Chain A
């Protein structure tokens, strides 16, 4: 399985994004601009290469690993977190539950509007 071409493609677009961010549009971070540029390229190309799919899927499946070092920073804040645990838990749990519920609700409304707009009744939820 070819891994290098996909990795190179991702990093080239991220590098492009970093350059754009530094010299053209400092509002958006480089990785975000790279993401938009890569998406635009893929839309024009019409398909993603097998190598790119393999690398992107591999990263996406294991994204959790990249958060571990930052999350261990929790040890620095244990006293503050313990002092305000109720407020912090309420804010975090409340916002996460609300975000998931609202996103699901908006998607359902959008799918309904989409179907009504096209007048078709393809009731398969898979895409």
Chain B
């Protein structure tokens, strides 16, 4: 290939979609766009950066006719996997899903949707129940909306963010102990 400018579009695309780096770049750019819109929009809870990124990536995959499995393999290289496991709620949810015969992928989707919903609705629920102290607001968000709620809490108030981290960790520990026991009864 000594004339790269003459490569047909399709051939370029085959190269791009075959290389995991580009799935990672797509994810990072979509998330960057989500964060940018979130910041520009005055950090309103409804403009959740994760939700925006998911819509952008899903739309790109559909446009490019790229199967989700191929994207996911690329977006999750070995060095991202342990970091992902750091958000304790996801592997616990997926482990429990396997125990009770549910789909791990669907469980992960619901876990993420729960996180987005918590980050979006948190402010309104907490205002409605009259919870004002930042550390309490963060703790509630970390409990209900794990990593995504923690990101949201950090963007609003540093104390809220730190207590959201704490709640997320505690929820992870207690969840790992209690959820399998409860799942046996369901």
Enumerate chain A interface residues (CB-CB to B < 8 A): 10-11, 14, 27-32, 35-36, 39, 56-57, 59-77, 92-93, 95-97, 99-101, 103-105, 107-108, 111, 125-127
**B contact face: mostly helix, strand, loop, or mixed:** helix
Q: Main secondary structure on chain A at its contact with chain B? A: helix
**CB atoms of B135 and A126 under 8 A apart:** yes
Complex-state Cα separation, A31 to B114, whole angstroms: 21
Interface centre among B85, B111, B141 (most CB of A within 10 A): B85
**What number of B residues sit within 8 Å (CB to CB) of A?**
82
Other 9 A-B pairs with CB < 8 A, given A27-B177, A70-B105, A76-B105: A31-B88, A64-B53, A64-B151, A64-B152, A70-B84, A70-B109, A74-B113, A103-B144, A125-B134
Q: Is the CB of A92 within 8 A of B113?
A: yes
B→A interface (CB under 8 Å)? 23, 27-28, 30-31, 34, 49-50, 53-54, 57-58, 61-62, 68, 71-72, 75-76, 80, 82-88, 90-92, 95, 105-106, 108-118, 121-122, 125-126, 128-129, 131-137, 139-141, 143-145, 147-148, 150-152, 154-155, 159, 161-162, 164-165, 167, 169, 172-173, 176-177, 180
Which of these, B68, B84, B167, contacts A75 with CB under 8 Å?
Answer: B68
